Chains A and B, each alone.
Chain A
Amino acid sequence: MTENFDELAAAWPRILDGIWITLGLTGGGAALAMIVAVTLGLMARQPNVLVRGTARTIIEFFRGTSLVVQIMWLFYVLPLLGVDLDAMVVGILALGLNYGAYSAEVVRGSINSVQSGQWEASTALSMSSFHRMRRIIFPQAWALMIPSLTNLLIHLLKGSAIVSFIAIQDLTFHVDQLRLDTSTWFAYGLVGLGIYFIIAYILTLVMNTLEVRAKHRLGRGESLREMLSLKPPRTTAGTGEPA
């Protein structure tokens, strides 16, 4: 038992490096995914058949072929076509495109879910379609899309564990190395799954915070400060406790 922890202490600097690689892949992948998602999501609701068709094809392509296939294709086939990318770039690219395609559907769906009255009121105020999207519709759609984006972000983090296939030394790689010197359950179970769970948990908390903020901006629910304060929560008239 104690040997396990001694080995962990010895391996910790390398595991920390692995955590940073995993966080870099997750952060980079998520940032790229968001850009891809907003671009494709907006394109997929254009009336122009060509624009919409292009977006749909890209979305279905990246959703339909597996993440691992995409990463392998970028890693093995792209160099044969003369494009030689750093493994880390390949990882971020594959994660960003794959989860970006999934998120595009979330963006599109959330935008479509904003009440029709909001679109009509913006039109009645003569707003341009760009202005309407940026100032009225997207801020409201954003609050709707966060829960689904949180799920996808956790998927992305979990998906990043495959980059050891293309020789990136991420958290999974170093945990696998640790196993050579410790018991299996300690390396994979406690250290590996444990650290991934903690990262996932923190990411979820961050996203929940964003959701609370977004909802509060729409006048729904408490502000973050109110939630964290020790004062009794605001009560709405008529919903008080029975006497």
Chain B
Amino acid sequence: MTFDWNWNTAWDVLPILLAAFLQVTLVVTVVSTAIAAVLGLIIAMLRRSVPKPVDAVLKFAVDFIRMTPIVVQLLLVFYTFTNLDAITCGIIVFGIHYSTYMAEVYRAGIDAVPAGQWEATTALSMPKGRTWSAVIIPQALRATVPALGNYAISMFKDTPFLIIIGLVELVQAGLVYGGNTFRYTEALTLVGIIFLAASYPTSLLIGRLEKRLAFSY
């Protein structure tokens, strides 16, 4: 009934966990966030530029991806593209899944740019590309940074879903160790602590960033 904690076990498993954290969890989080950030912006811009019926199709696709489980999406991609290794598959699925969330963030950011800005670029006969790159995106992006950061944290906490396609990420590394040694307590508790230690300070940082960005307007 007591909380049976062995420090030797803890020191034994910690390097294994940290290795899985750095080699898989962190890699997927960082690369997928980058993909989601870029792809999300492309989706948001497309949705503003294409004719209504095309936008309706896009919206359905975005909703479909966003409202269905990553776990099943991972299975679908992993078993369909059998030449992809698990980590590449994970990066692609997480990147696409979260791009649908980020597209919404960008859309809100773009909508928040005052109509007068668009009118001014028209009045100055600025070309479309220049309007986006020099006027709209810089203004829209500022407000979206904290939201993107928060989605990066959510993605980080979703990475254990990768277990379903056989990747040994942080949680699976703990489970493997626990299965071999029957010491689940130390392994899984440390896994939780690593998650908390990585995500909590980051979310505090984003909270501060959010306040600073809000003030400087």
Direct chain A–B contact by Cβ atoms under 8 Å: yes
Shortest distance between the CB of A175 and any CB in chain B (Å): 7
User: Is B73's CB within 8 Å of the partner chain A?
Assistant: yes
Whether A185 lies near B184 (C-beta < 8 A) is no
A176 to chain B, nearest CB (A): 7
Bound together, the chains give a CA A77 to CA B73 distance in angstroms of: 29
**Cross-chain contact A200 with B68 (CB below 8 angstroms):** yes
Contacting residues, chain A, for B191 (C-beta < 8 A): 69, 72
In the assembled complex, the CB of A189 is this many whole angstroms from the nearest CB of chain B, namely 5
Candidates B79, B160, B171; contact of A184 at CB < 8 Å: B79
Find out whether the CB atom of B67 lies under 8 angstroms from the CB atom of A80: no
Give chain A interface residues in 132-174, CB to chain B under 8 Å: 154, 157-162, 164-165, 172
A29 to chain B, nearest CB (A): 14
Docked CA distance A73–B171 (Å): 10
With A158-B70, A184-B79, A197-B64 as known contacts, state yes or no: A69 contacts B195, CB within 8 Å. Answer: yes
Q: Which among A61, A80, A184 is the interface contact of B4 at CB below 8 angstroms? A: A80
Whether B71 contacts A69 by the Cβ 8 Å rule is no
Contact present for A162 and B157 (CB under 8 Å): no
Query: Measured between alpha carbons, how far is A196 from B97 in the docked complex, in Å?
Result: 15
User: B188 — which chain A residues lie within 8 A by C-beta?
Assistant: 69, 72-73, 76-77
Would B195 and A66 count as touching, CB distance under 8 A?
Answer: yes
A residues 187-238 touching B (CB-CB < 8 Å): 188-189, 192-193, 196-197, 200-201, 204
Question: With A69-B171, A69-B188 given, is the CB distance from A196 to B76 under 8 Å?
Answer: no
How many Cβ-Cβ contacts under 8 Å join chain A to chain B? 121
The A interface, classified by DSSP as helix, strand, loop or mixed, is: helix
Partner of B189, one of A63, A77, A193, A197: A77
Cα–Cα, bound, A6→B22 (Å) = 45
The majority secondary structure among interface residues of chain B is helix
Cβ of B80 within 8 Å of any chain A Cβ, yes or no, is yes
Contacts of B75 in A (CB 8 A): 172, 175-176, 179, 188, 192
Q: How many residues of A contact B (CB 8 A)?
A: 41
The answer to whether B124 has its CB under 8 Å from any CB of chain A is no
Contact B69 A80 (CB under 8 A): no
Beta-carbon contact of A73 and B67 below 8 Å:
no
Give the contacting residue for A175; candidates B72, B195, B196; CB below 8 A: B72
Q: Which positions in A face B, CB cutoff 8 Å?
A: 60-61, 63-70, 72-73, 76-77, 80-82, 154, 157-162, 164-165, 172, 175-176, 179, 184-185, 188-189, 192-193, 196-197, 200-201, 204
